[in-house]
Each structure stands twice: as structure tokens, then as C-alpha cells.
Structure 1
């Protein structure tokens, strides 16, 4: 088996009654809902909760509003702007944010483990409270969010719920945890490290490319975390693999299904060949979960899926120029896919904004198969690296504001403007949502309001 090294610690997930009266440190309130969800869940179980986050209060304003009642009542104590070792060593349990890089080397988590304190994660608490027969777990370097959402759409009539890395916390949905409906979880490589071997009815791997060396410390560790979901799937579950990872191992008693992309699919609302592949993976996963589903109904649900915000989302037309917001794209390979998708039917120049935080990966794949009509505008911390690895001219802009100014001077009717960074957002933005919102703000300022336009399906 290709287990990650260092391996995850033993899973710590006591039953609900254990938390009553015990002290629990929540490491990282965050801005995506997981910290809020687990804090409220712990409070309902009688825990005495300390929330600690390295970010100051002003950067956590939205999340703090959602637990203000707990803070006011004294159930939750806050320690913001930094961590203190004693909060991790002198407590009964810690709930860690999976986004903390190389957690095995983190001094605060090490203090907890050295003191014999159990360390859990929000996603671990969710997985341990959902019957494995209800679970569909999805991972992959690219496509996991869209594939997860398409599976959710296909199973909506069954009352399916969607959670995990896609945002929010299912701990806030008590009915989802204790019910009988399908639960679709998007799982990041970091979550998979913390979870270790899991039980699920269906596991889906959408793709693989080197990524997140900043979190894992090496590509080998990242790859091992991705592989272990299918390789260690216990029970008689089904592992659905994209053809690009067809040779990845699966559990001894698991069923392997490979999606080669040749299966017919109806016309989708979301553009791109990669989304057709996502749709085929979603369809295969839905039928693996429930073979009795009506094929026409599944196909119709997936075909009607409108796409996710900030994921190659059509953002209107202005002066004959079409705009797409793909801020969620954080891999170079994803940028290349987005450009190829948009180039189908494009009659003018494709102006693409790339760059962001440096995750230590090869950026050259974003240029593979790039049409000659593409103009590149580099922003963020990786801007200079992009200029160095590109085999064509790149406008080094630094910020998105400068990039949009230059594009507004160059774009003409028939052109396309695409934000598809291929890099993370945290060098200049709190998250990819804020990056996408800023893109749209600048587009409206430079190009005006969107025209009435019906995007092709």
C-alpha cells in the first residue's frame, strides 16, 4: 500500500456524550463554515469551548457573528490573533483545522499529542457519524467540486446532502447526520490525511496532478493521500476512477469502475470537455450508489446542473466581450482545461488572468495546448515565475486591477476575458470567493453592466 509518510495519527472521535463538561480547543475558526459548525455542535453537547485563530477579529467578522450568542453566554471563549501552547496541552481535546500545513510538524498540535490530548477534525466527526452505506466520497486534483455537486444533483430526489471541502459543515445539519439520505462529501488531500482509511459506499477519484507541496511537504505525500481513499476503502464499496488514474489500486473487496469518457451524455449547461468527463464520473457514481435509478432522470438532473459559483461561471457579456469567472481554479492543469473549454467557438482573442499564491508546483502545464490567440496577464506572487516558464509573451501586471485596466484597453467585440488563476488566492485575497468577487467588481467598473445575453449550453 502507498500509505502517506508521515502517516496520520489514530482517529480521535469519541461519542457525543463524552464532550459534556469537557474542555475542547477549536484550532481555526476560519471563514468557510467548518469552524463555526463544529463550535456550535460542541456547544450543543455541553463542551466548554475555546476557539483560537491566528487571524485577528476583523478578518473573522462574518464567522464571529455566527457564534456571537455562544460567546456572549460564556459557553465559548475566544483567543484570536495567535495561539498559545497551553490551550493545546492543557485541555481535554483539540479540533484542528485540516488546512494547517504539515500538521505533524506544527508545534501546537505536537504539544497536544505529546500531552496525550486527542486531536480530531470537523470532517472526521462528520464521517464517524454517518453510516458508511450512505457515503459517497469524492477527491481529485481537479473536478472534485463539480463532480460532487453533479452527484448531489443526480441524487437530489433521494434527499441527498452535500458537504466537506465544498464548504459549510454538516455538523450543523443534525437531520443529515442521523437520517437515511445519501451524503456526498468532497474531500481534499489534507482531509484524507487526517481521515486515514475510511468506509464508504462509493469513492470517486476525478484526476491527479502534482499539487499542494506547501501542505504535504512533497508530491509523494500528496499522491499517497489521494490514493489511499480507494486503496484502503474497506467493505464492499465501489471505487470510480477516471481513466487518467485507472491503474490506481482499490481495496481488496471493492469494485473498480473506470470512466473512459466515451459514454454518451446529453448536452450540459456547463461548458468544456472536462465537464463532460465530470458528468460521466457523476453518473457512474450515482448508479454505483443506487442501480435502480432511472437513467433519463439522472441524465436530466446532471444536464440541468448550472455550475458552481467561481467555477468557469459565465459572468455576462459587455460590448460583445464575454466574461468567465473561474476563480476556484487553483491548479495549472485546471487553467489549461478552462482555456480549451472557452476556446471552443471563440472567434476573438482570449484574455486570461493567471497567478496567485505559490504552492511550489510546476506552473508550465497551464500553457499546454493554449491557442495562439490567447493573451496572458500574470498577477500575484507567482507572476514572475509565470513569465519565466511561459514560451510566449506575458503581461506582468502584479494586481488584478492592473490586469483589467490593460484588458479593457485591448479587448474588442468577439473576445473573451477569463479569470482562471491556476494558483491559490491567499497572497492577495482571503479566499477564492473574494478573488472572484473582486474580478467582477473590476469588470463592472471597466466595462459597465452586463448586456442581455443567453449563453450557449
Structure 2
């Protein structure tokens, strides 16, 4: 078995099993095969691997087994785990029993990062926006940027690209899920960002928030006194569980602590009181995005990014697809796509972003969420909710009597048509589901694109007389 007491460097002829044949598993297989490993890529399902990637796997003599794990997996010296595979999976239990070390793809790929800055971003909400904003902040500077992780580009793929460059100033900006952080050993970000903690993925963490939080906190486990941990100090749970091995930097909005970057209702300021930018110049809506901006600014300023450059980025950054994304206006009603809001807290932030009546489309595949936590903000900001998907009945039970509810079954087009019919000029219709998408769609991106296509079809319909 491979000894992970120190970070491994030699993989020649090491038997490596990569579990999960989606993109992170494929790219990890290619990376470790290039390093001389004898790689087995194994998936319990029937996954379609892109033709060019399959050709590369074949060229590198990576063995691929799909449709079930064989005993070859337990003949490995190291297992690299794709994030979607839970610890309860039988193959993981078998590897543990066989005492074969298991690491995440993020951990394994990070072994090859040398003399570079790593910024890790985690939390329950805001990860993708913050990661994307940071990437924009580091573009057109002295840094060569590599952005990925949970945002869609595996770190293994970034490493394959980065090793082609001899730039001395590389920065890896990584969105990190709790799944990716569960099995890290040596992964060491120079700057870690913890945006917030609210219940999410409770179905994976035995309905225990602290188990979920413990996985998130792994982001700081290998940091030292030269490293930085940026956290939202309006979040009590984060404040009560600060790491003691690194420098901690608060990045809240309402707390009274002294901060390197802070905001009031009008502007964002630096520690010395110098105004950086007026909030009226920002494209990003909502309190939740202000948290994302403050965290990003702290990280960028630590790395020496100029204030002028940061100001320009903030003035032009319009957010990410599927996160409070404005689509169009139909008959005076604004339509927004917030498909990435897959948990209750994201929806609460979305509702608070609008000063006009909201019709919200809720539902999908439940992640063991408590939908009653939506009630205060639904009462304050929403005029109606349209329910879709598998979780509709549970949501109705939680919200009955709070506001008008209409069921649209498993039909997004019907949901949009109902919302459009009930909305008045000046209202907002937003898809902000508080659920995963897998009951109706491949992922939240698929759901968001489908929603946008439906809205745009309605936009082309002739206006009623």
C-alpha cells in the first residue's frame, strides 16, 4: 500500500484505482498515467466517455471497466475517489476493509502543485460566484490563473495544462465542495475562504450539520501561520469554530469587528477608511453577493492585486449563469434564473434580493431540507409559489397557509405559464428551487437552460390585447 504520511512523489508502476468515470475521474486517470502509474478507471454505472478522452486513456494504457467494480479495484495500492461517490458505497467500504488508502481527486492532483498560490473557496452558498469573481480579479495581472474544482474543471485537468507552462506566478483558484474535502491528507491552500454554513446535503451527512461542517473545515487543516483563513464573521457557527493554525480574517457585513475590507449601505471601504467603490456601481444584486465580494477582495488584496484593477472588475462583473441571472422582461414582468439555488438558504438570499413582489418556482429533488425555513422571507417578499417536481408535496405541507401555492407537476413549462399568468407588471418571476434537479433534469445547469428556453419562447408569443 502507498504510504501517505508524507506527500508522495513517485508513481512509476504504482497500481492506482480511480473510482468514477465522469470528468474528474477521467482527468485524474490521465494525469496519473502520465506520471507512470498503472491506472484502472472503474465505474459502477455505464458512463459515456468523450471520444477524444477515451482515445487518450487508451494511448496511456489506462484500463477502463464500466458497469461494475471488479476485484481489480482492491488489488490497487491507492484509490482516487470522484466526489459523487459516498463513503457508504459498498466499494468504499471494501477498500477501507482492505486498508487501501483513499484520497479525493482534489487531494491527489494537488500533489503536483509546486511554488504556486492556492486559493480554496468553500461554504454552503456563494462558492461559484466567489470563485468566478476571484478568477476575474486575477486575470490581466502578473498571475497566470487556473480556475476549477467543483466549478466544473477538475484540478487534474488544470494540472495537465499548468505543467505545460513555466510561469513562476501561477495561482489555482478552486471551488471546493464538502465531498471533495472529505478525503484530503496534504492539500494545503495558502488562502482558504469559508463563506457560510447552512444545512445542505443532509442526506449524505446523517442529518447532522456538524458532520457536514467538519468536512468543510478540512479546508484549513494543513494551513500554517503564514496562511490565511477568510471567514464570514456574521455566521456564529464559523466564529465559534475558527482554526488556530493560521491567520484568520473576518469578512462579514454586520459584525463590529475590525476588518481589512468592510461595507455600509452605500459603499465598500478599505481598513484605512478609503472608499474602494460605491455599491450603486455593482452589477451583483443582494446581501449574499456582498459577502462574496468582501471575501474575494480580501483574498485579492492579500496577493497584491491593485485597487484600481479590483474596482474595474467589480464594475463589470455581472455574475454567473444560473445564479440570479436576469433573462428578460415580458409585459413588465422580470424573469430570473436561479437554478443554482439548490438549498433553502440560497432561496432566502434570492428572495431578499428583490424589492418587488416575487412569484417563486420551487421544487425538484429534496436534499432532506427543512422548507419551513423559507416562511419568514416568503411572507415578506413573495406573493405566490409555483411547485414542481418530486418535492412538491413536501413543500406544500411545509408552506400551506403561508402564501398561495399552485402545483405544476413535473412540467416546467406549465410552471412558467402559471407564473406568467399570475404576475402583474412590476413583479418578478424567479426559478429558485431549493432542491436538486435530478428528478427532472441532468443537473442544475440543464434545468436552468431549460427554464430560460421556456421563458424566451413565451417572450416570442404575441401580446394579449
Alignment TM-score > 0.5, same fold: yes
* Cα distance, 1:44–1:229 mapped onto 2, change above 3 Å: closer
Equivalence for 1:116: 99
Is 1:379 matched up with 2:364? Answer: no
Q: CA deviation at 1:131?
A: 4.0
C-alpha separation between the residues in 1 aligned to 2:135 and 2:390?
Answer: 35
Indicate conservation of the 8 Å contact 2:135/2:173, yes or no. yes
Pick one of 52, 66, 85 that aligns with 1:80. 66
Residues 208-287 of structure 1 correspond to what in structure 2 (within 5 A)?
Answer: 208-217=197-206, 218-230=208-220, 233-245=223-235, 247-261=239-253, 262-263=262-263, 264-265=267-268, 266=277, 267-287=281-301
SS in 2 for 1:252: coil
Indicate conservation of the 8 Å contact 1:49/1:76, yes or no. yes
* Greater displacement, 380-389 / 357-366: 357-366
Q: Which has the higher contact order (CA 8 A, sep 6+)?
A: 1
SS in 1 for 2:407: strand
CA offsets, 1:64-97, max 9 Å, x none?
334231355582343333x224132123432211
Indicate conservation of the 8 Å contact 2:42/2:73, yes or no. no
Q: CA deviation at 1:314?
A: 1.3
C-alpha separation between the residues in 1 aligned to 2:93 and 2:458?
Answer: 50
C-alpha separation between the residues in 2 aligned to 1:149 and 1:401?
Answer: 30
Pick one of 398, 403, 408 that aligns with 1:392. 403
C-alpha separation between the residues in 1 aligned to 2:241 and 2:216?
Answer: 11
Is 1:363 matched up with 2:401? Answer: no
Pick one of 4, 14, 17 that aligns with 2:8. 14
SS in 1 for 2:79: strand
Indicate conservation of the 8 Å contact 1:36/1:66, yes or no. no
C-alpha separation between the residues in 1 aligned to 2:72 and 2:423?
Answer: 54
C-alpha separation between the residues in 2 aligned to 1:434 and 1:202?
Answer: 32
Equivalence for 1:6: none
Equivalence for 2:127: 144
Q: CA RMSD in A?
A: 2.7
Extract unaligned runs of 5+ from structure 1: 1-8, 452-457
Residues 57-72 of structure 1 correspond to what in structure 2 (within 5 A)?
Answer: 57=47, 60=48, 63-70=49-56
* Greater displacement, 382-391 / 167-176: 167-176
CA offsets, 1:396-434, max 9 Å, x none?
222223312322333343332211111111222211111
* Greater displacement, 293-302 / 183-192: 293-302
Is 1:418 matched up with 2:426? Answer: no
Is 1:153 matched up with 2:143? Answer: no
Indicate conservation of the 8 Å contact 1:230/1:249, yes or no. no
Q: CA deviation at 1:385?
A: 1.1
C-alpha separation between the residues in 2 aligned to 1:350 and 1:185?
Answer: 33
Indicate conservation of the 8 Å contact 2:104/2:182, yes or no. no
TM-score when scaled to structure 1?
0.85
SS in 1 for 2:335: strand
Indicate conservation of the 8 Å contact 1:272/1:338, yes or no. yes
Indicate conservation of the 8 Å contact 2:205/2:212, yes or no. yes
Pick one of 111, 118, 125 that aligns with 1:128. 111
Indicate conservation of the 8 Å contact 2:120/2:191, yes or no. yes
C-alpha separation between the residues in 2 aligned to 1:79 and 1:448?
Answer: 47
C-alpha separation between the residues in 1 aligned to 2:395 and 2:99?
Answer: 45
Number of positions where the alignment pairs a residue of Structure 1 with one of Structure 2: 426
Equivalence for 1:308: 320
